């Protein structure tokens, strides 16, 4: 509790609002934060009605509606906002005007509300915030960022605007650039790294997978529990330890071919064909290896899942009756 008192005042527990909370990261982070701070202190929100009682407390919140944001912050006495509302890379490319609304204007509204009410703000960034002129192997925290997707452009805007509001208005803004996030529990949300989830379901269901990236396309990846833990940890780091407002975090890098090789002992008959689509052009501009030494040195980030552990965990979760789990 000493760390909490330093951040939020003696004896207090932070109350957190999560926007876009029904996506890949929101429910998992809500579960982690509720386990740490209490169910009633984490408010999930999204732009659909509450799907079931397990996600409550829950609010309908449109990040494009500033008045609604103000109301929910005041009503629930919010201390921190976790802003997940965004259109991901492939989806955003198909609807650029909507991506600008949600990813850019939505963040403008959020950071302004946080400035007005003196709230901490955590908003994830992405490997997509880099571009073809960025160093790819490895990609450091601070380097040239010239993304070629609207998703990447809006994330760079988010990073810079968050840093501006920190320096200009004192907003306690924090961000992590996440790699591809792999999860057995949630459906992919339209990202370029989603092949690494699709392939496990295809291996179980049909034994064949058509991959939309080339077999040699290397990208940084992380298993969802590591991703969630990194967000929880960086939000609780005392400000004096933060040398940056935006950090890279990662766990591993691999190609589709390397992932297939690691899966072969569990699925010896699995076949993969490679037929790249528009997502290949996106992947070709992204980092191959993330340098996250800043996060490791400044606030102690450390991943828990490497590639072998990731694969075994995914097979266990998605295909628990796989006969090879007992012998490997």
Superfamily of domain 2-182+221-248: NAD(P)-binding Rossmann-like Domain (3.40.50.720)
pLDDT of residue 11: 47
pLDDT of residue 73: 98
Per-residue pLDDT of the chain in tens (328 residues, 90 and over written 9): 444 544 554 348 999 999 999 987 999 999 999 999 999 999 999 999 998 888 999 999 999 999 999 999 999 999 999 999 999 888 899 999 999 999 999 999 999 999 999 999 999 999 999 999 999 999 999 999 999 999 999 999 999 999 999 999 999 999 999 999 999 886 666 678 999 999 999 999 999 999 999 999 999 999 999 999 999 999 999 999 999 999 999 999 999 999 999 999 999 999 999 999 989 998 999 999 999 999 999 999 999 999 999 999 999 999 999 999 988 8
Each domain of the chain, given as residue ranges in start order, spans: 2-182+221-248
Give helix then strand counts, H and E, for the chain.
13, 13
Cβ 194 vs Cβ 213: under 8 Å:
no
CA 289/CA 116 separation, integer angstroms: 38
Kindly compute the dihedral angle of the four CA atoms of residues 141, 143, 146, 152, in this order, to the nearest 10 degrees.
0
- What is the sign, positive or negative, of the torsion defined by CA atoms of 113, 43, 313, 283? negative
Closest CA to 25 of 126, 132, 113: 126
Has 151 been annotated as catalytic? yes
Phi, psi of 181 (to 5 degrees): -105, 125
CA 8/CA 4 separation, integer angstroms: 6
CA 88/CA 316 separation, integer angstroms: 27
Contact partners, residue 87, CB within 8 Å, separation at least 6: 95, 98, 99, 102, 103, 151, 190
CA 48/CA 54 separation, integer angstroms: 15
Which spans in 83-240 are helix H? 89-94, 96-99, 106-117, 150-169, 195-205, 224-236
Active-site annotation holder among 8, 37, 60, 151: 151
Contact partners, residue 206, CB within 8 Å, separation at least 6: none
Q: Residue 3: how many CA atoms within 13 Å on its side-chain side?
A: 11
- The 3-state DSSP class for residue 219 equals strand
Q: Structure pTM?
A: 0.92
């Amino acid at each position: 509790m000493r760390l909490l008192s330093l951040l939020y005042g003696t004896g207090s527990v932070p109350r957190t609002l999560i926007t876009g909370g029904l996506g890949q990261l929101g429910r998992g982070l809500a579960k982690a934060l509720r386990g740490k701070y209490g169910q009633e202190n984490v408010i999930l929100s999204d732009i659909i009605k509450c799907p079931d009682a397990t996600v409550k407390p829950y609010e309908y919140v449109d990040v494009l509606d500033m008045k609604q944001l103000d109301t929910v912050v005041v009503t629930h006495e919010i201390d921190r906002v976790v802003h997940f509302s965004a259109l991901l890379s492939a989806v955003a490319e198909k609807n650029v005007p909507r991506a600008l609304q949600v990813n850019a204007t939505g963040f403008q509204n959020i950071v302004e509300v946080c400035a007005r009410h003196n709230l901490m703000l955590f908003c994830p960034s992405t490997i997509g915030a880099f571009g073809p002129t960025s160093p790819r192997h490895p990609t450091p925290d601070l380097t040239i960022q010239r993304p070629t997707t609207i998703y990447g452009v809006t994330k760079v805007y988010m990073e810079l605007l968050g840093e501006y509001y920190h320096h200009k208005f004192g907003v306690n803004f924090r961000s992590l650039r996440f790699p591809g996030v792999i999860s057995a529990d949630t459906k992919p949300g339209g990202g370029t790294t989603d092949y690494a989830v699709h392939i496990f379901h295809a291996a179980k269901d049909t034994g064949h997978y058509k991959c939309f990236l080339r077999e040699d396309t290397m990208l940084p990846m992380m298993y969802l529990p590591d991703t969630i833990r990194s967000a929880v940890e960086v939000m609780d780091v005392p400000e004096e330890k933060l040398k940056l407002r935006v950090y890279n975090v990662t766990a591993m890098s691999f190609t589709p071919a390397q992932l297939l090789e690691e899966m072969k002992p569990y699925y010896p008959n699995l076949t993969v064909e490679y037929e790249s689509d528009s997502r290949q052009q996106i992947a070709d501009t992204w980092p191959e290896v993330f340098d996250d030494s800043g996060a490791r040195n400044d606030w102690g980030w450390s991943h828990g899942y490497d590639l072998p552990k990731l694969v075994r965990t995914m097979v266990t979760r998605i295909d628990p009756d796989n006969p090879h789990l007992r012998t490997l």
